[in-house]
Amino acid sequence: MKSLKYILIIVAFILIAIQLPFFTPKKNISKVKNQIDITDKYDVPMNIQMDLYNGCYDCHSNNTKKYPWYYHIQPISWWMNHHITEAKEQINFSEFGAYTHDEAIEKFKKLQKSMEEKTMPLKSYLWMHEEAKYNEKQYQRVAEWARSMQDNLGKPTH
């Protein structure tokens, strides 16, 4: 019984200690306005841009617009930071203009597929971000736009 008590005290101490600010990962906020955002290189209609901004940019860009209160609770911030890092590896709208021609086509294919299969935004993200929920029309128009971008990029440029 004494050993269980000591284990609980140690676990409680660790949980309290990891709440210190220096254990919180760096936020996904860039002060630099790069000129390689998807909107800087490609024609993104305003309605598509708003759909991407509301449903994708928090994780798939270099700027998460608003961190929720629970971000400061460990290990939640580590989990969120991991999600954002992985999301940006898949597709980063802030750096989309730096993708090669072939990479851009692949990213547009992934975007189309995730919209058609409705796998994005993640369900866990939607729990606290009502504004990111897509309706059927939004899923369809982003998927169609991504497909049209693939078609446009697939055409010869001469």
pTM, two decimal places: 0.80
The answer to whether residue 143 scores a pLDDT higher than 60 is yes
Work out the average pLDDT over 91-113. Answer: 95
d(CA 133, CA 118): 10
Q: What's the pLDDT score for residue 158?
A: 42
What are the tens digits of pLDDT across the range 74-85? 888 888 899 999
Calculate the CA dihedral of residues 89, 65, 101, 158 and round it to 10 degrees: 180
d(CA 143, CA 13): 48
Tell me the percentage of the chain whose pLDDT exceeds 90. 54
Work out the average pLDDT over 99-115. Answer: 96
Whole-angstrom CA distances from 66 to 26, 29, 55, 71, 117 are 14, 10, 13, 10, 27
What are the tens digits of pLDDT across the range 7-52? 877 777 666 666 666 667 788 788 777 679 999 999 999 999 999 9
